[in-house]
């Protein structure tokens, strides 16, 4: 039967944001397909996207605001419906009191949402620093490691230019990451003859279609990358011209252990720094005249090797010399021992990367001007592209590993060049970006917005968020000396810290779209106990928990108040340049969702909840001078909000100006939503070709980006092969920094891990594990057909996965007496799970893996308590701890990234008399009022 109506909007069955067409009949969704006119997916749709209909009509949908029944335990899932008026009344009273006394008693943490510009703004206006999204336990190492090195990162921030690449190396990427867009690009790349190498412990998904699979031990990627850098330098296969001009390789690093400036870059104090935050008076050693000169002075060329003395006898070395010294011992043989990859393979890979970059050089006839006034007739490309993600990041050594990758990409000359890595607006950003977190407890004041956003990019110890004793101010200890560059916060610390009252107890924890009582937490069994734990006076240790979600998850059972969110088909959304847009390599792209069906039951978009609360609490940015509300609702807010009065910059860049004829900048346009809706929900600004490449150093692009206020400053963004930022923290740890210094207990840690050059160390958990007891690395990845825990309520996708196995190499399994399909115990030093094993030759003998979040607790997601997900599915999180021996968080000591992939386990068969279902077991949760129990 033909559908009566077709509406376009943007998918949200995963985070890729493909364009979709929703086919409706009599107002009911009948079918969803890809929008052929959408630039991102060009009509392609995946299994998840096509199954959106089953999400819309899922029995797990929450449909009414709910309050925990008086006397019911948290976790039991016993609720009573209340009205929105009542829910808002409860929140307004509670939050107003917190805001007027101690705003940090309110913590807001969100999952894989796409509205962090709004949630971040809400927290800032509230005045609480206790805000973050999920990045701290996802891939902050990837974001921070790359941004602190090249000024951009992968996925939303940039990616491989597979249209022109000849060699593509994917490393540490889940089988379906960046789903449709990357699949489309890889398909074209392979058809045009490109060679695809996948470095991954597991050969599924993308790795299964790679031309070469290079299995690697989890947590050792940094050693591989350092060895490849070693080879590239030893063979002279780096792009000298690029490295000399566009990185800080030629910058002279002071080598005077006694000096406060040891390890910093030498400057000419007589010369104008231009911008003290990004000084332009740093020195090179000019090869032609054999003397120090200002970097990039006309007619000069920096020495990359050697040791020199400045006029005052200060010893200096070019940063590149220090890098070469660093990787000198990192031979392929050294890396082979660590990674399990034969030294010959490492040598061959390095050679292939270097030769392809050198010999397959691209010249595009596009003229451009660099930031120092140099005119270029063409844009040069080096057709070697990389893509990397959580497999590199989710280790407690992932920051330095990611830095090593950024450096390798730079040595090959591939940054923002054709065939290599290309930025996506609003990147590149300055290194580090100029936004800073609050600096101390004095920045948190009653009834006052924070002066800055809660999250930012520290550039020195002065940018940390610590008290006078150097202690943390955030509940997750972000931006403290424990995790100085925790630019995405540490969501995985929140519940444990709040339960401990360390650094202080909080009053209200609001969680949006994050399953923190299940797969979005480590140490799940203990965390669930913490959520329901009480003080001696009988009150909960975390007094009030608010959860906003569209579905009855494991987390909602622990809420005191549940706010039913809409689905993506029922609401407006803005994927904004202020947040995480869907930009293309050729220019900024933002997009929206528009409702294609009305909200179910009493569901309300979380954005509307925030706008309503912001109005009730009279946040300055949401209130007129006369005290009335500035914004009617979320769509009104998106259209009319400007970053400053009259700035012309709002959430959406398209069709601005009163008549909709302006873009990027312009007055609010009351018809902006309609214009997006009429244009496939997407706005694409194509940059002039001469602004599309070399953007770190492209004068024309910089001027344009400043004009549209995408960049604050116009100084070139040199790649930081050598990180002066890290050295500042190290100097502080050594007692040489004139400003803030770490507490004694953390000095050695900061000194060790804030190395200005990348290095490899075994992940912290591995260091704390007896390898003879727990010899196997255990990792997870998200399956292609499901997005984290979202899709077990989806009737179609459940037909693909209703339970998971632990995949074990058959040799490993047989050695332990484990049968294919047999029930086994998997044990770490922290806990154990019972699950089923499946033989697999697509994983190396030293590694086991499973899909994340298919296992469910009984009754959650409104599945029948004996559903396969609860009986046979399991969660690896039970084996992972959020704390390591000694009490430190299981996180990267630079960024606080959760060390998800560092756990070590052993396996053994379950005995014949043990039950054939998963363990640990949890009590079944009742269906929440307003949901329908599924079959």
User: Which residues contribute to the site for ligand SF4 (CB under 6 A)?
Assistant: 11, 13-14, 16-18, 41, 45-46, 48-49, 179-180
Our CB check for ligand SF4 shows the closer of 18 and 350 to be: 18
Q: Minimum Å distance from CB 41 to ligand SF4?
A: 6
Q: Minimum Å distance from CB 49 to ligand SF4?
A: 3
User: In terms of DSSP bridges, do strands 805-808 and 508-512 run parallel, antiparallel, or are they unpaired?
Assistant: unpaired
Our CB check for ligand SF4 shows the closer of 41 and 173 to be: 41
Dihedral, 597, 652, 388, 46 alpha carbons, nearest 10: 20
Which spans in 754-820 are helix H?
Answer: 764-767, 810-815
With 0-12 / 13-18 / 19 or more C-beta atoms within 10 angstroms meaning exposed / middle / buried, residue 163 is middle
Q: Minimum Å distance from CB 15 to ligand SF4?
A: 7
Q: Minimum Å distance from CB 606 to ligand SF4?
A: 19
Nearest to 633 by CA among 588, 581, 566: 566
Element of type H or E holding 545: strand 544-549
Q: Minimum Å distance from CB 526 to ligand SF4?
A: 33
> Would you tell me the crossing angle of helices 744-753 and 724-733 to the nearest 10 degrees?
150
Our CB check for ligand SF4 shows the closer of 112 and 361 to be: 112
User: In terms of DSSP bridges, do strands 212-214 and 195-199 run parallel, antiparallel, or are they unpaired?
Assistant: parallel
In angstroms, the CA 355 to CA 231 distance is 12
Q: Minimum Å distance from CB 721 to ligand SF4?
A: 35
**Phi, psi dihedrals of residue 705, rounded to the nearest 5°:** -65, -35
Query: Distance between alpha carbon 615 and the CA centroid of its chain, in Å?
Result: 30
- 710 Cβ neighbours under 8 A, 6+ residues apart: 425, 426, 577, 588, 664
Q: Render the burial of 810-843: b for 16+ CB within 10 Å, e for the rest.
A: bebbeeeebeeeebbbbbbbbbbbbbbbbbbebb
Our CB check for ligand SF4 shows the closer of 691 and 851 to be: 851
- Which two three-digit tokens encode residue 396? 């407690």
Sign of CA dihedral 850, 853, 858, 859: negative
**Phi, psi dihedrals of residue 561, rounded to the nearest 5°:** -140, 125
Which spans in 769-862 are helix H?
Answer: 810-815
In angstroms, the CA 392 to CA 400 distance is 10
Our CB check for ligand SF4 shows the closer of 176 and 463 to be: 176
- 378 Cβ neighbours under 8 A, 6+ residues apart: 363, 364, 365, 366, 367
Our CB check for ligand SF4 shows the closer of 68 and 134 to be: 134
Our CB check for ligand SF4 shows the closer of 24 and 82 to be: 24
In angstroms, the CA 395 to CA 880 distance is 12
Angle at 570 between CA 575 and CA 616, to 5 degrees: 75
Nearest to 497 by CA among 513, 518, 473, 468: 473
Our CB check for ligand SF4 shows the closer of 48 and 798 to be: 48
Our CB check for ligand SF4 shows the closer of 6 and 771 to be: 6
With 0-12 / 13-18 / 19 or more C-beta atoms within 10 angstroms meaning exposed / middle / buried, residue 647 is exposed
Beta strands in 452-541 (DSSP E): 508-512
Q: Minimum Å distance from CB 792 to ligand SF4?
A: 15
- Which two three-digit tokens encode residue 870? 């609860």
In DSSP terms, 71 is beta-bridged to none
With 0-12 / 13-18 / 19 or more C-beta atoms within 10 angstroms meaning exposed / middle / buried, residue 33 is middle
In angstroms, the CA 117 to CA 821 distance is 46
Our CB check for ligand SF4 shows the closer of 13 and 762 to be: 13
Q: Minimum Å distance from CB 801 to ligand SF4?
A: 15
Query: Distance between alpha carbon 558 and the CA centroid of its chain, in Å?
Result: 26
Query: Distance between alpha carbon 708 and the CA centroid of its chain, in Å?
Result: 26
Our CB check for ligand SF4 shows the closer of 369 and 591 to be: 591
Give the SS3 label for residue 298: coil
Residue, CB closest to ligand SF4:
49
Our CB check for ligand SF4 shows the closer of 11 and 530 to be: 11
Our CB check for ligand SF4 shows the closer of 187 and 923 to be: 187
Our CB check for ligand SF4 shows the closer of 180 and 556 to be: 180
In angstroms, the CA 188 to CA 182 distance is 10
Our CB check for ligand SF4 shows the closer of 608 and 791 to be: 791
Q: Minimum Å distance from CB 206 to ligand SF4?
A: 14
- Which two three-digit tokens encode residue 309? 């003395």
Q: Minimum Å distance from CB 573 to ligand SF4?
A: 12
- Which two three-digit tokens encode residue 896? 């606080």
Our CB check for ligand SF4 shows the closer of 173 and 282 to be: 173
Nearest to 611 by CA among 633, 636, 578: 633
CB 541 within 8 A of CB 535: yes
Our CB check for ligand SF4 shows the closer of 42 and 663 to be: 42
């Amino acid at each position: 039967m033909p559908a009566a109506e077709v509406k376009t909007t943007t998918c949200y069955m995963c985070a890729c944001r493909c364009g979709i067409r929703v086919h409706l009949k009599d107002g009911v969704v009948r079918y969803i397909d890809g929008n052929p006119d959408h630039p991102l997916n060009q009509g392609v749709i995946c299994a998840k996207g096509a199954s959106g209909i089953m999400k819309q009509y899922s029995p797990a949908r929450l449909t009414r605001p709910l309050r925990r029944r008086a006397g019911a335990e948290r976790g039991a899932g016993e609720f009573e419906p209340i009205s929105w008026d009542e829910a808002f009344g409860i929140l307004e009273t509670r939050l107003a009191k917190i805001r007027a006394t101690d705003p940090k008693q309110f913590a807001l943490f969100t999952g894989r949402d796409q509205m962090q510009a709004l949630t971040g703004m809400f927290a800032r206006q509230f005045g609480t620093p206790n805000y973050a999204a999920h990045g701290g336990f996802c891939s902050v190492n990837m974001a921070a490691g790359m941004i602190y090195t090249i000024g951009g990162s992968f996925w939303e921030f940039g990616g491989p230019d597979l249209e022109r690449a000849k060699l593509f190396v994917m490393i540490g990427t889940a089988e379906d990451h960046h789903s449709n867009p990357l699949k489309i690009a890889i398909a074209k790349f392979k058809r045009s003859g490109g060679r695809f190498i996948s470095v991954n412990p597991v050969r599924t998904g993308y790795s299964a279609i790679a031309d070469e699979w290079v299995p690697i031990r989890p947590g050792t990627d940094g050693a591989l990358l350092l060895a490849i850098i070693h080879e590239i330098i030893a063979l002279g296969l780096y792009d000298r011209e690029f490295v000399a001009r566009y990185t800080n390789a030629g910058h002279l690093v002071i080598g005077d252990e006694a000096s406060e400036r040891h390890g910093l870059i030498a400057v000419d104090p007589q010369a104008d720094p231009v911008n003290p935050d990004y000084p332009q008076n740093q020195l090179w050693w000019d090869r032609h005249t054999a003397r120090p000169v200002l970097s990039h002075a006309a007619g000069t060329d920096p020495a990359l090797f050697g040791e020199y003395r400045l006029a005052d006898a200060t010893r200096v070395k070019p940063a590149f010399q220090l890098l070469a010294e660093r990787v000198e011992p990192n031979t392929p043989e050294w890396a082979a021992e660590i990674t399990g990859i034969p030294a010959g393979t490492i040598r061959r890979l390095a050679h292939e990367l270097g030769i392809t970059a050198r010999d397959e050089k691209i010249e595009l006839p596009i003229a451009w001007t660099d930031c120092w006034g140099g005119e270029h007739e063409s844009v040069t490309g080096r057709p070697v592209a990389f893509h990397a993600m959580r497999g590199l990041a989710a280790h407690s050594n992932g920051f330095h590993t990611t830095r090593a990758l950024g450096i390798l990409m730079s040595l090959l000359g591939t940054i923002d060049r054709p065939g290599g890595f290309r930025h996506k607006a609003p990147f590149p950003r300055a290194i580090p970006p100029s936004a800073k977190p609050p600096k101390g407890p004095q920045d948190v004041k009653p009834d006052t917005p924070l002066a800055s956003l809660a999250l930012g990019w520290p550039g020195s110890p002065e940018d940390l968020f610590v008290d006078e004793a150097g202690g943390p101010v955030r509940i997750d200890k972000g931006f403290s000396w424990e995790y100085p560059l925790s630019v995405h916060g540490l969501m995985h610390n929140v519940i444990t810290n709040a339960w401990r009252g360390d650094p202080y107890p909080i009053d209200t924890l609001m969680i949006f779209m994050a399953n923190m009582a299940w797969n979005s937490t480590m140490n799940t069994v203990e965390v669930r106990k913490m959520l329901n734990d009480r003080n001696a006076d009988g009150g909960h240790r975390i007094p009030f928990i608010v959860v906003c979600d569209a579905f009855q998850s494991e987390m909602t059972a622990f809420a005191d108040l549940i706010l039913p969110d809409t689905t993506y088909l029922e609401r407006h959304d803005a994927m904004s340049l202020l947040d995480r847009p869907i930009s293309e390599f050729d220019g900024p792209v933002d997009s929206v969702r528009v409702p294609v069906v009305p909200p179910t039951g009493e569901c309300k978009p979380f954005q509307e909840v925030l706008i309503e609360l912001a109005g009730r609490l009279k946040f300055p940015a949401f209130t007129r001078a006369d005290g009335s509300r500035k914004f009617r609702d979320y769509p009104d807010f998106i259209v009319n909000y400007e970053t400053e009065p009259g700035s012309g910059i709002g959430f959406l860049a398209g069709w601005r100006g009163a008549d909709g004829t302006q873009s990027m900048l312009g007055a609010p346009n009351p018809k902006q939503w309609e214009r997006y809706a009429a244009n496939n929900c997407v706005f694409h600004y194509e940059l002039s070709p001469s602004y599309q490449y070399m953007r770190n150093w492209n004068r024309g692009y910089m001027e344009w980006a400043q004009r549209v206020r995408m960049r604050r400053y116009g100084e070139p963004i040199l790649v930081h092969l050598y990180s002066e930022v890290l050295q500042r923290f190290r100097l502080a740890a050594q007692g040489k920094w004139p400003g803030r210094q770490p507490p004694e207990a953390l000095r050695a840690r900061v000194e060790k891990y804030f190395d200005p050059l990348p290095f490899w160390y075994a992940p912290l958990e591995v260091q704390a594990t007896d390898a003879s007891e727990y010899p196997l690395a255990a990792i997870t990845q998200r399956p292609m057909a499901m997005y984290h825990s979202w899709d077990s309520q989806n009737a179609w996708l459940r037909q693909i996965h209703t339970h998971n196995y632990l995949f074990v190499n058959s040799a490993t399994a047989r050695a332990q007496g484990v049968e294919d399909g047999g029930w086994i115990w998997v044990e770490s030093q922290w806990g154990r799970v019972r699950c089923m094993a499946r033989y697999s030759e697509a994983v190396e003998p030293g590694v086991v893996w499973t899909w994340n979040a298919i296992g469910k607790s009984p009754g959650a997601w409104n599945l029948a308590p004996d559903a396969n997900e609860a009986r046979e599915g399991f969660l690896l999180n039970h084996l992972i701890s959020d704390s390591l021996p000694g009490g430190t968080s299981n996180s990267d000591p630079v960024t606080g990234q959760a060390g998800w992939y560092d756990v070590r386990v052993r396996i053994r068969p379950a005995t014949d008399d043990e039950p054939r279902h998963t363990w640990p077991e949890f009590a079944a949760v009742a269906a929440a009022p307003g949901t329908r129990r599924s079959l």
